[in-house]
Amino acid sequence: MNIPFLDLKAQYSTISHEINDAMQQVINACAFSGGKYVAQFEEQFATFCNCSSSIGVGSGTEALWLALLGLGIGPGDEVITVPNTFIATVEAISLCGATPVFVDVNPESYTMDPQLLEQAITPRTKAVIPVHLFGQPADMDPIIAIAGKHGLFVVEDACQAHGSAYRGKISGTIGHAGCFSFYPGKNLGAYGEAGGVTTNDPRLADKIKMLRDHGQSQKYYHHVVGVNSRMDGIQGAVLSVKLKYLDQWNELRRAHARRYGELLQGVDGIVLPREMEYAKHVYHIYAVRVKNREAFMTGMAEMGIGCGIHYPVPIHLQEAYKSLKMARGAFPVSEQCGDEFVSLPLFPEMSPEQIEYVAEQVKAQVAKQ
């Protein structure tokens, strides 16, 4: 059996008429950059997240960058995040001219360990970016409490966590701002690049709206230096169609994850993901940990199964961040994750037979180790 890591065509085939129609409407209206289809999606996404504003931008990376800029983060400031993330979280900090500071992740949730946060705060710290990795929200209550005590902004990296929730609150609405990626492979994915910022702060929303559009609120009157990070009309229209299905798709992901859990429970040589008691996990990625990853992945590929690694090198050890002068050993949990993570195929359209086949092959591979 051949099972890809992700099958975007399978999803498209279930909604192709609606998608084609939505794209055609944008073309008919020539509403290509920003415009009414983006505004409509922004409203719908704010309603979905239960917050006052959502601002469509060019990508998740730009969502993080513009949120930080909107909060006034700049040179001389420090922003705390985790090394166990996609590099974009940290790039956004660097793009503002600020300095990234890391704290390690919790070994069970793989998200920011709140117990390590306070010791990383200095007089220069301005913000904290917890990352809701793989679709599981970070432990937000203690993070918000510590940030509040020190007067820090909290920007949630919810780029992998559309529709997940922390103690019943939708991810991206707990801190000062939430940042989303609508990259095609995400739980809510566009048909190109797109991102969004959510917030309950109307002043911050206005600032980000200005920043994404060359610092203007009225055409050709520029109040601040901004960028072009407007969302494409076609992406807004596609996202409006797909948002209607997000809860349903997330429930399928959760059901598939539960099934993997049942089939792989108690198998020696593999650590399964854990849904924390505070979390509604939406399994953007189903990452397990194995000791001999290379052999495991080769064996899975031979059996026709596409796996991924998210991510092989934690950010403090990336060449791009060698100026931070951090050595192996600085963040042991993130480093162990980098060494052992393997992501199994998980997408809403998977059949029960596909899940069973993957689980069988996982068992066969770990038995060989």
State the residues that interact with ligand PLP by CB under 6 A: 59-61, 85-86, 88-89, 131, 157, 159-160, 181, 183, 195
Q: Give me the least distance between CB of 180 and ligand PLP, in Å please.
A: 8
For residue 218, the cross-strand partners are 221
Beta strands in 74-164 (DSSP E): 78-81, 99-102, 125-128, 153-157
Q: Which is nearer to ligand PLP, 200 or 229 (CB)?
A: 229
Q: Give me the least distance between CB of 265 and ligand PLP, in Å please.
A: 28
What phi and psi values does residue 100 have, to the nearest 5 degrees? -75, 140
Q: Give me the least distance between CB of 295 and ligand PLP, in Å please.
A: 27
Read off the tokens for 321: 């961040």
Q: Give me the least distance between CB of 37 and ligand PLP, in Å please.
A: 19
**Checking DSSP bridges between strand 99-102 and strand 78-81, what pairing results, if any?**
parallel
Q: Which is nearer to ligand PLP, 183 or 296 (CB)?
A: 183
347 Ramachandran zone, left/alpha/beta (phi>0; psi -120 to 50): beta
Q: Give me the least distance between CB of 68 and ligand PLP, in Å please.
A: 12
Q: Give me the least distance between CB of 355 and ligand PLP, in Å please.
A: 24
* Separation of alpha carbons 72 and 97, rounded Å: 11
* Separation of alpha carbons 31 and 28, rounded Å: 8
Angle at 164 between CA 159 and CA 166, to 5 degrees: 110
Q: Which is nearer to ligand PLP, 90 or 366 (CB)?
A: 90
Q: Which residue is nearest to ligand PLP (CB)?
A: 60
Q: Which is nearer to ligand PLP, 343 or 361 (CB)?
A: 343
369 touches 290 (CB < 8 A): yes
Read off the tokens for 362: 């996982």
125 touches 71 (CB < 8 A): no
Q: Give me the least distance between CB of 159 and ligand PLP, in Å please.
A: 4
* Separation of alpha carbons 98 and 100, rounded Å: 7
Q: Which is nearer to ligand PLP, 138 or 204 (CB)?
A: 138
Q: Give me the least distance between CB of 89 and ligand PLP, in Å please.
A: 5
Read off the tokens for 188: 């809510």
Q: Which is nearer to ligand PLP, 238 or 355 (CB)?
A: 238
* Separation of alpha carbons 212 and 230, rounded Å: 6
Q: Which is nearer to ligand PLP, 62 or 213 (CB)?
A: 62
Q: Which is nearer to ligand PLP, 114 or 189 (CB)?
A: 189
